[in-house]
Structure 1
């Protein structure tokens, strides 16, 4: 994961809010030393071929030579941090078979021991039968020393203080945080910008990113430039003007979720810093082909 750009002077932020960034954006597009090859970021692991957010998906992403793995983190009823995208368990586990009489299948209503009874792999293929829901610690261990982590804090209804809980959990993994900070191999992001800020307040030395489901406004980007390192929008919202605007503010931009080869090439041509994809092996081939 490349080091984030240095923040521009406050004047740039003021100009952005005023809508006067075109000259600055043009200059930033030609900034010396910028790589024209984006990071390959495996979305929920190599989720195109392995069950998302599992150890199998993470290890497959390593085999596919992903630069970074993006996973989602949530909290169980007994406070364990685990990797899962959906707020409920039905889509990617056999929870309805194992616990047929439960009134709620929200992950936050299950303990870690209960989750350990679930199969999180068979929904995709019998090949992955018995694949468990991993803990955050298990997921980090599966990354190994050469693959970076893009960790999404998934805030579901009723969840509070998850950003702080993630910070606390990362502190408790022996040796992980000093190494991750020294190598710039960890970024924490979320659609919930308040929880992102709460995490940042706890661990300001760790890079953070803001996810955007709608095109970010000038004001949102100006605010992000004051404390975050990344602004990460949906790829269908991203054009050259947005990429240049984000770069002019000293931020990196990772786009999601890019699965078609034509879209991969389009994002590469725009000069984004990272491409988040279910198929990192395909993106790697697209980059190799030039």
Structure 2
């Protein structure tokens, strides 16, 4: 074990409650604050995972957005968080006899008929669930950057290869975008391993909080450990930064879902590399003030 790893691990294990001064973020220049990522777009202000939500993020001046990808019955990749359509569309009214309204049980054409905005507010009536292709085209148009989550891969065998093929077709696997504008994340170790094996150049993030002892194993296929803010400490972040990921750079951490200024300031003190938030403006004000 390298000396810096041993020292950081000892600090985290023995003195995690001791205040630790923030170090320069692995993903930003010294003196910069953490990257702000709009969670499912600017989802406090527009319906999540829609084109409207990423347009809102762009209008607010935020370049990084996050989304969730699942697959329809006929094999179309769509952008939606839940594995059911019930929470964020009017599927129960349009298709009342098809409970439990799982994404995988509907065709893309059927889903395209659904209203994915009225639940959020009348001004968004008629907003649709976007296909991943539509979403990527809008992200490109907005000159934005993307944290793409492969959701529920156990429900969609082969979704990793299919997602990468679509990203390639849309120009997102070219060197410039690959290095600076795309991260693929998942709660699934197997899914991330598959992405790393198929396209080793892609930056990947594991969603969770592995033990410090387990970090070397995760560092074989993940560039980031993207953890809930409730599960991390300054000691954990310091230890994590001491391990190198698959591309020879220190592991990074994006933390979620941070929606208050107090929490944003706290995780900034921890030294996180990025903050995923529904309220990017609130986080920006807090981090700038800090």
Which bin holds the TM-score, normalised by the shorter protein? 0.7 to 0.9
C-alpha distance in 2, partners of 1:170/1:161?
Answer: 14
Which deviates more from structure 2 when the two are superposed, residues 175-184 or residues 74-83? Answer: 175-184
C-alpha distance in 2, partners of 1:241/1:109?
Answer: 44
- The answer as to 2:212 corresponding to 1:218 is yes
Q: Deviation at 1:283?
A: 1.5
Q: How many residues align?
A: 276
Q: 1:163-174, aligned counterparts within 5 Å?
A: 163-173=160-170
C-alpha distance in 2, partners of 1:266/1:151?
Answer: 26
Partner of 1:130: 126
Structure 2 unmatched ranges of 5 or more? 244-249
Structure 1 unmatched ranges of 5 or more? 1-9
Runs of 4+ that moved beyond 3 A? 10-16, 18-23, 25-36, 179-183
Q: 3-state SS of the aligned residue for 1:78?
A: coil
Partner of 1:69: 65
TM-aligned CA distance change 1:12 to 1:224, over 3 Å = farther
Q: Deviation at 1:103?
A: 3.9
Q: In 2, are the aligned partners of 1:119 and 1:130 still within 8 Å (CA)?
A: yes
TM-aligned CA distance change 1:225 to 1:156, over 3 Å = closer
TM-score by length of 2: 0.87
Q: In 2, are the aligned partners of 1:257 and 1:278 still within 8 Å (CA)?
A: yes
CA RMSD of aligned residues (A): 2.6
Q: Deviation at 1:101?
A: 1.2
- The answer as to 2:155 corresponding to 1:158 is yes
C-alpha distance in 2, partners of 1:137/1:254?
Answer: 25
Q: In 1, are the aligned partners of 2:172 and 2:178 still within 8 Å (CA)?
A: no
C-alpha distance in 1, partners of 2:136/2:157?
Answer: 23
TM-aligned CA distance change 1:231 to 1:59, over 3 Å = same
- The answer as to 2:286 corresponding to 1:286 is yes
Q: Please list the CA deviations of residues 232-258 of structure 1 after superposition, one character each: whole Å capped at 9, or x if unmatched.
A: 100011110111011111101000000
Q: 3-state SS of the aligned residue for 2:241?
A: helix
C-alpha distance in 2, partners of 1:125/1:131?
Answer: 10
